[in-house]
Each structure stands twice: as structure tokens, then as C-alpha cells.
Chains A and B, each alone.
Chain A
Amino acid sequence: MTSAVEFKKTSRHFGKVKAVDNVDLTIGEGEFFAMLGPSGSGKTTCLRLIAGFEQPTQGEILIFGESAGGVPPYLRNVNTVFQDYALFPHLSVAENVAYGLMIRKVEKSKRIRAAEEALAMVRLEGYGDRKPSQLSGGQRQRVALARALVNKPKVLLLDEPLGALDLKLREEMQEELKGLQRSLGITFVFVTHDQGEALSMADRVAVFNDGKVMQVGSPQDIYHRPKTRFVADFVGSSNVLDGTFPGKQPNKNVAASLRPEAIRIVKSGGHEADIISVSFLGAVTRIGVDVGGCKLQVLVDKAQSSLAVGQKIRVNWSNDDLHYMEAASE
């Protein structure tokens, strides 16, 4: 696998703030790569470093093996879909899409055709004459996508592109983006704070916190085998069991993660638990239980209306579902 983008001990500090701190990362060609993390974790800055809007204070970035140091954004063959879409308000949709081609002095008839094709690809035929202000959020998002893809970039950067859309549209666009990526074979680097989005779309995920990469791996890896407490908690809000927990633990200094859906309610055996909260989430119900002073989240797949706060139940899990993490703290 050749690498499309490579971070080599890259840092970007703003004064004392270490937005990106000593990141080593390799993004393969043709990969759908997600950068996941809470806001302020450095994922967007990483994206801006690839685009060239920021320069690393230390280390370097290679794009297809070439150092990008000192190369301005307009000389990089990468394109960005901005979080706020950044469509030019004074240009029509077609002019927006054809902007990159116009800059590269592509013949007018050719670029009109290319813009139409790109708009068709995102299912917006016939919208070319409108102004961006006349479009809905989802349509704007697709125009931004077409505007970037029409340039046939080597790497497409997407900065929380689905953040402003409502749930149903977001799910539709996830499918569409994934399909586009597969058919075009372009490397997608996707920044998001939504773990569901990252897990469902990406080939590989990098989890960011405080400017550092906590873990890189496949969605399954990240979900089932979190390396740190932060990853366990941030991705799928796992239960983290410390050494004090009443159960089998080989080493008291090692913490284990336990997915909420791995815990079952049992009639006998297991551990006694008090229900302290019940939230109905539709397909599943999330209950919070207190097991001997340790608070756990449990996902119950059938809406069990009999469950109520204050009730005493018994819970159990298989020791195979306990995943021991490398570091006990953080």
C-alpha cells in the first residue's frame, strides 16, 4: 500500500497551545480514513496541515511521498470540503463547481460540461443556475462535494461535512459518500466528532485527543480493542472497570473495558445491581446500574417496560468481553 499522506513527527503549536503534537500517521492510497475526536483535539488542524492552510511548526508532511513543506495550498493536488461549505455567494452553483477549472484556464465549454457531470454525480442536475443561497443545507453540501471532486484530486479532505445536516439526511449522505469513494477510488480523509459516522464509513480510524493520536486501527479494532481509557470511553461510551471491581482480574493495576451491549440481565448468578437510570432510545434501552459501588451502562435490546429506577436486578457478562487496556491511567 503506497501512502497518500504521511505525518512524520508533525506538530502545530499556536503559542503555548499544542493543537497537533508529535503526530505520526500514514494514510494509504485509496483509503477512507477518518479522524475522530472531540472538538479541540487537533483533528481539524491535521486536515488543514494536509490542505496547506497551516504549516507544521515541527516535523513534516509527505503527500504521495513528496514533502509538502512550504508548498502553498494552491499548488497541492488535494481538495477540501469545508465544514461551512464555503460556497462563493456571488457565483452560481455551476460557476462554483467550475471554479477550479476556471482557475486552471480550462476552456469554457469543457468546464461547463465537467461542472454538469459533477453536479449529476451528486444528483443535482439542473441546479447550475441557482445561487448557493437558494439551496438547502444538504444541497449545498453536495455542491461543495462536486466543487472539490470536479478537480479530480488525489486526496479529498472532508471537514465535518455532515455536521450541519439533520439525522435522516446525514445517514443518506454517509451511504452516498461511501459509494462515491468506492467508485472513484480517491483517498478520503474525513474529520468527524461523531463516532458512529467514523465507524460506519471509514476503512481505518485515528482517534485524537489533546493533539495526539491515541489509536489508529480498523473500526472493529477501535471498538472492540480500545488501547486507552479515553478511546474506550469516547468510542461507544464503554464501561471502564478498574482494579477495584468485584470480578476476575489478573492484575489490579490494569483497567478493562466492557461494552454496554455485552452485559446481560440474568435471573440468577452474576452480580447484583441497582437500576439508577433508564433511558428509552428506540431500538434499545440504556439503563444505568450500580454494581457494588461501580456504575455501569447496560444496553438492553428489547424495550423492557418492566425496568424501573430503584429495581434490583442481576447482571452478568462473559470474561471474553472484558478487554484489558495497556495503560491503567489515561
Chain B
Amino acid sequence: MNDAAIMTRENRSFLSRMSDTLWRKPRLLLILLLTPPILWLGIIYLGSLFALLAQSFFSIDEFSGLIKYELTLKTYRELLVPANLDILVRTTLMAVIVTLAAAVVAFPIAYYAARYARGKWKAIFYLSVMLPLWSSYLVKVYAWKLILAKEGILNWLFEVLYLKWLLDAYLSLPLIGGNSLSVSYTGTFLVFLYVWLPFMVLPMQAALERVQASYLEASADLGATPSQTFKNVLFPLALPGIIAGSIFTFSLTLGDYIIPQIIGSSRLFIGQAVYAHQGTAGNIPLAAAFTVVPVIVMGFYLWMAKRQGAFDAL
């Protein structure tokens, strides 16, 4: 190569010439980069989802147990019988409560991380929030079963502290109580809360990170007490993060079928119903109809959130 050359054009290898071409045609690069994910998302992911949804408009023949490939709303009528409706209400309520509790628990953690944690402490924050996500979900759930069981550590702790009567009184409450925490709705709730909490903390922290300290100072400067500042500045600005987090906690709780199976009363959640109907019962249309419910609930939730202006501060 000539030392005095200003622009090198000759003696470029094949790969170098390829990258030169892509540099000249950025649109080609974009197409090359986007085609595989769009194919994956469009065909394999959304395609199979719609195939599943389409199944919900078929019905099952009660006598033969075979699927009749005729469009009908019969399966959806079946979804609304009291036993199935109970499942829907139970699951949705659990998802709402888990989401609210996660928001309340996550806020101080996210606020501390966004406002005060710097350097090493920020790393420790990320690590401690993410660490549970690195271990197996099943291990965590079974660990909780051991914690919450009648012979478990929590029971033992209450006994040592002479507070067993308190736990017993709580367990004797209708609905939320039970034989032990591990077979009560309370247990299911606690484990859901634990397992999904990181999904609330992280988006909330990201949203709070964008709230400059000077906004809070300006609010105080203009006469707002800390609680007024929270209501008028901090909460509205954190709301997109809370909504993002709640989408995770809410939809993950709606769809989970393992936690309520291992920890909780034996009453079914949507995920378990789907699992049972498409497996042992062989009722694919009803299973499909069950899966439509979380999709609709989430769609409605997002629509409400948008109407409430949750995304205005984005």
C-alpha cells in the first residue's frame, strides 16, 4: 500500500468489501438485521398464539371427545359456568393483590436505589435484586414450601417467640387462612410476591432514576410538604415505571400454574385450568378460551392505564 494514499480502495478482502457495501446502503443492513426477529416474532410467536386463539372458537363433542371444527361460541359459554368463573375471578383478584403489594414493597427499594445508591452500593442493589432470578424458579418455590409448611421454619419461629397463637388466629380466618400457610391463599400470595418482585423493582427504579433531585426540591421550594410532593410530582413521574412493572407482575401471576399447585389450597388458577384441559381432559378449545381471558384482562388494563394518563410522563 502506498504510504501517501489518502483513500484505500484496492486490495480489500471480501468481508471488508461486504461491510463497505453495508455502510453505503444502511437500509440493506437494517433489513438484514430485522428479518430474522420479525420472522420469529411474526410466524412462530404470534402465529402460534393466533392458532391457539382460533381453537377457542371450536368446540368439543361431549360424546366422542373429538374437536368439532365449526365456529361457535359454545366454549365461551362453558367458560362462564360458576365453577370456571370462580377460577377467573380468583386468579384476577390474586393478580391484582400481588401487583399492589409488589408496588408497595418495591417503591422504597427502587427509590433508595435511584436516589441514594452510588457506585458500589448500586452494584449491590442490582445484584441483590437480580440474584434470585438466577436460581431455578422451582427451587425457590419448593424452598418457600419448606419455609411455610406446618413443620417449617416460620412456624418454628412463631413458636420460639411464643407467638404461635397469633399465627393460629390468622390461619383460622376464613378464605385467607388454612391448615398451614403452605396450603393457604396467603402462602400463594407470599410466594407470588417474592418471585415477581424483581420485575416490579427494576422498571420502577428506571423511572425514578429520571426524576431529578431538583424536581423534588422545586416542589418543596414552592411550598409542598413531602406528602404533597409525593402525590403531585414523584408518583406521577414514577407511574410509567409502576405500570411497566405491574404489567409483569400482573400478567405473570395471571398465567402461572406452578406456584398455586405447589403452595396453596387445591383450588384452581387459570394456568392450572389451561394445563388440565389441554392435557388430561383433552379439551383444547376450553383451554384456549381460558388463555384468552388474561389477554383480554391485560388489554383492558393497559387501555385503562392509558386513559388515566399513566403514559403521559413517558
Mask, A94-119, CB within 8 Å of B = 1, is: 00000110111000000000000000
Counting chain B residues whose Cβ lies within 8 A of the other chain, the interface size class is 10 to 19
Inter-chain contacts of B313 with A (CB < 8 A): 89-90
Distance from B225 Cβ to chain A, minimum over Cβ atoms (Å): 5
Expressed in whole angstroms, the Cα–Cα distance for A261 and B220 within the complex equals 46
Expressed in whole angstroms, the Cα–Cα distance for A139 and B221 within the complex equals 21
**Residue with the greatest number of chain B CB neighbours at <10 A, chosen from A51, A86, A104:** A86
Nearest CB to that of B229 among chain A residues?
A: A74
Contact B237 A90 (CB under 8 A): yes
Contacts A73-B220, A74-B225, A80-B221: A90 and B236 contacting too (C-beta < 8 A)?
A: yes
**Residue with the greatest number of chain A CB neighbours at <10 A, chosen from B214, B222, B225:** B222
Nearest CB to that of A144 among chain B residues?
A: B218
Contact A86 B224 (CB under 8 A): no
Main secondary structure of the interface of B (DSSP, over half): helix
Contact B228 A86 (CB under 8 A): no
A88 interface contact, C-beta 8 A: yes
Indicate which residue in A53, A84, A151 contacts B223 across the interface (CB closer than 8 Å). Answer: A151
B50 interface contact, C-beta 8 A: no
B78 interface contact, C-beta 8 A: no
Enumerate A273-297 residues with CB–CB distance to B below 8 Å: none
Indicate which residue in B219, B221, B225, B237 contacts A89 across the interface (CB closer than 8 Å). Answer: B237
Contact A79 B221 (CB under 8 A): yes
- A side interface size, CB within 8 A: 25
Inter-chain contacts of A102 with B (CB < 8 A): 232
Distance from B87 Cβ to chain A, minimum over Cβ atoms (Å): 39
Contact B214 A84 (CB under 8 A): yes
Nearest CB to that of B236 among chain A residues?
A: A90
A65 interface contact, C-beta 8 A: no
Contacts A86-B212, A88-B215: A99 and B222 contacting too (C-beta < 8 A)?
A: yes
Mask, A51-93, CB within 8 Å of B = 1, is: 1110000000000000000001110001110111011111000
B312 interface contact, C-beta 8 A: yes
Expressed in whole angstroms, the Cα–Cα distance for A89 and B217 within the complex equals 14
Inter-chain contacts of A52 with B (CB < 8 A): 220
Contact A90 B312 (CB under 8 A): yes
Enumerate A128-152 residues with CB–CB distance to B below 8 Å: 147-148, 151
Expressed in whole angstroms, the Cα–Cα distance for A84 and B312 within the complex equals 21
Inter-chain contacts of A82 with B (CB < 8 A): 214, 217-218
Inter-chain contacts of B262 with A (CB < 8 A): none
Inter-chain contacts of B219 with A (CB < 8 A): 88, 99
Contact B237 A86 (CB under 8 A): no
Inter-chain contacts of A90 with B (CB < 8 A): 236-237, 312-313
Expressed in whole angstroms, the Cα–Cα distance for A90 and B107 within the complex equals 20
Interface residues of A (CB under 8 A from B): 51-53, 72-74, 78-80, 82-84, 86-90, 99-100, 102-104, 147-148, 151
**CB-defined A-B contacts under 8 Å, sample of 24:** A51-B217, A51-B221, A73-B221, A74-B220, A74-B222, A74-B223, A74-B224, A78-B221, A82-B214, A84-B212, A86-B217, A87-B218, A88-B219, A89-B313, A90-B312, A99-B219, A99-B232, A102-B232, A103-B223, A103-B224, A103-B228, A103-B232, A148-B221, A151-B222
Extra contacts, 18 of them, besides A53-B221, A79-B222, A99-B222 (Cβ < 8 A), are A72-B220, A74-B220, A74-B222, A74-B224, A74-B225, A80-B218, A86-B214, A86-B218, A87-B218, A88-B218, A88-B237, A90-B237, A90-B312, A90-B313, A99-B219, A99-B232, A103-B222, A103-B223
- The 10 tightest CB contacts between A and B, nearest first, are A100-B222, A86-B214, A86-B218, A90-B313, A73-B220, A103-B224, A103-B223, A80-B221, A74-B220, A90-B236
